[in-house]
């Protein structure tokens, strides 16, 4: 169905894979499909001719935004053969914000103060988001060029 929809209507499928870090996945997204399983599905779709992309969303500051984590994730995405990679930083609407901050206090207490400063509203400041997206785009270029991972 998706192959036909791609041919006839320009269908595109996007998978969310914020990080291939198993600890981050297990902590942030318990009960969801593991990143490797999502990437296998993306590869199968791409191999079948479905326009497929992977979205590294949400990137969670201090947990999935390190250069090394982003590079490992992009390298894994690159091996799927998908044509598009996008990324964006997490945002927290009312209700979600309180839930997430309680989660941080339990799982990552050292990040609470920084999150309080970074997320004075539901969205991180534009400058920070731009900085993360620029880092991701530079990493995408390195991966596509076959450059080795930076430590």
Q: What angle do CA 136, 52, 78 make, to 5 degrees?
A: 45
- pLDDT value for 2: 87
Give mean pLDDT in consecutive 10-residue pieces for the chain, a chain of 151 residues. 87 94 95 97 94 95 96 95 93 93 96 96 96 96 78 47
Give yes or no for a contact between 86 and 57, defined as CB atoms under 8 angstroms apart.
yes
- pLDDT value for 147: 67
- Quickly list H helices, 15-150: 22-28, 35-47, 67-78, 96-107, 112-118, 126-144
- The reported pTM is 0.89
Helix, strand, coil share (%) of the chain residues, nearest 5: 55, 15, 35
Whole-angstrom CA distances from 26 to 14, 33, 63, 71, 113 are 21, 10, 12, 19, 23
Whole-angstrom Cα distance, residue 52 to residue 47?
9
Whole-angstrom Cα distance, residue 33 to residue 133?
25
């Amino acid at each position: 169905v998706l192959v036909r929809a791609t041919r006839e209507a320009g269908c595109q499928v996007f998978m969310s894979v914020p990080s291939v870090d198993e600890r981050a996945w297990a902590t942030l997204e318990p009960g969801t499909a593991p990143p490797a399983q999502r990437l296998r599905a993306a590869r199968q779709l791409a191999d079948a001719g479905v326009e497929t992309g992977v979205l590294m969303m949400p990137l969670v500051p201090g947990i999935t935004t390190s250069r090394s984590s982003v590079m490992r994730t992009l390298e894994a995405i690159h091996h799927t053969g998908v044509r598009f990679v996008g990324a964006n930083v997490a945002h927290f609407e009312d209700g979600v914000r309180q839930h997430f901050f309680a989660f941080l206090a339990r799982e990552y207490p050292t990040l609470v103060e920084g999150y309080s400063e970074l997320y004075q509203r539901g969205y991180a400041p534009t400058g920070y988001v731009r900085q993360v997206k620029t880092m991701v785009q530079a990493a995408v270029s390195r991966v596509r060029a076959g450059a080795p991972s930076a430590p």
